[in-house]
Amino acid sequence: MFKAKKRFIAGAVCPRCSEMDKLTIFREDEKEFRECVSCGFKEQMFLQSAPKELETRVNLSAEEKLAEVQPVRLVDPKKFN
């Protein structure tokens, strides 16, 4: 049963199973959710346009952002040579 179109988030890493390119994003009841097709992880996304909601989940959001940023770290120059 399809409630909404799901889009894959390119390069995103699932905070639960650490699989890349398994996270989808979709809208439901005017909220953004992301869901992992690999392990079933699902969570509402708190966008910057909703600062009041973000405030209550700031700790968790910060951890998740960190988990997503880590794989995109700068390339080690030694591996380039």
Return the DSSP state at 38.
T
d(CA 61, CA 56) in angstroms, rounded, equals 10
Which two structure tokens, joined as six digits, stand for 38?
A: 């690999």
Amino acid letter at 43?
E
Name the residue nearer to Zn ion (CB basis): 20 or 69.
Answer: 20
Both tokens of residue 8? 């894959």
What is the smallest separation between the CB atom of 48 and Zn ion, expressed in angstroms? 24
Of the pair 10, 74, the CB lying nearest Zn ion is at 10
Per CB under 5 A, which region of 13-21, 24-32, 48-56, 59-67 contacts Zn ion?
13-21
Q: Give residues in contact with Zn ion (CB under 5 A).
A: 14, 16-17, 36, 38-39, 41
